[in-house]
Amino acid sequence: QVQLQQSGPGLVKPSQTLSLTCAISGDSVSSNSATWNWIRQSPSRGLEWLGRTYYRSKWYNDYAVSLKSRITINPDTSKNQFSLQLNFVTPDDTAVYYCARGNCGTTSCWGFDYWGQGTRVTVSS
Amino acid sequence: QSALTQPPSASGSPGQSVTISCTGTRSDVGGYNYVSWYQQHPGKAPKLMIFEVSKRPSGVPDRFSGSKSGNTASLTVSGLQAEDEADYYCNSYAGSNNFVVFGGGTKLTVL
């Protein structure tokens, strides 16, 4: 059974960096059939895909166009986890952040079959 | 504002069927068979119910079905049960620039 366990602070100051981690159990961040995604949800924006990392003989990243200048998603193979960094945050980045797996082998790269528990992040001074 | 359009609410009585629509464009819903549907109960993470328009992951009851016509995808819940009351979201692959877009969600009420 795949489990995704999120960790990270719930409060970030404006202009600082939001950092979250998603620890994977039951699968590997280096899997050749999975993608590892970050998605956020807020009342104003609804659900919004932020980006992903995945391994296909080498590491790849894709990011939402609107965030490309501020976002980094990195795998950590030693800890079997992946992380999200969002720079220069504003109150508009306040949301519940989720990590999620895209299962290209069984379901769909774009149907996210396992999700973390969510982390409510507030951007405020 | 979400890229895909869903009705804000839908309702039905136990045992009835309800269909929720998800309208996009030919750049997303209409262009690819990569529409998924999610169920979300309050305070919980979304749960995948349908992928690739009409396929069900293991463990999802066959009361849930999906379809697509043109730029509009649909989720049908048959034989409504109390536990089906939740928010439902669609998403679609939108090409190698935008990747993934979501709908704004539909609150399903079981009367």
Pairing of strands B35-40, B86-93: antiparallel
Contact residues on chain B for A115, CB-CB shorter than 8 A: 45-47
CA–CA min distance A89, chain B (Å): 20
- What residues of A are in the B interface, CB distance below 8 Å? 45-49, 52, 62, 64-65, 98, 100, 107-113, 115-118
Is the Cα torsion angle B89, B62, B26, A64 positive or negative in sign?
positive
CA–CA min distance A101, chain B (Å): 11
Please give the Cα distance from B63 to B43 (Å, whole number).
24
Q: Which residue has the higher pLDDT, A105 or B80?
A: B80
**B53 pLDDT more than 90:** yes
Nearest to B76 by CA among B2, B16, B19: B19
**B2 pLDDT more than 80:** no
Tell me what the mean pLDDT of segment A4-33 comes to.
97
Task: Report residue A110 as tokens.
Answer: 């774009």
Tell me what the mean pLDDT of segment A31-60 comes to.
95
Q: What is the largest CA-CA distance in chain B?
A: 42
A92's CB contacts (< 8 A; 6+ apart) are A44, A123
Band the pLDDT of A100: cuts 50, 70, 90.
very high
Tell me what the mean pLDDT of segment B49-59 comes to.
96
Model pLDDT for residues B71-110, shown as the tens digit of each residue: 999 999 999 999 999 999 999 999 988 899 999 999 999 9
Band the pLDDT of A108: cuts 50, 70, 90.
confident
What integer pLDDT is reported at residue B93 of this predicted model?
95
Torsion of CA A39, A40, A41, A43, to 10 degrees: -140
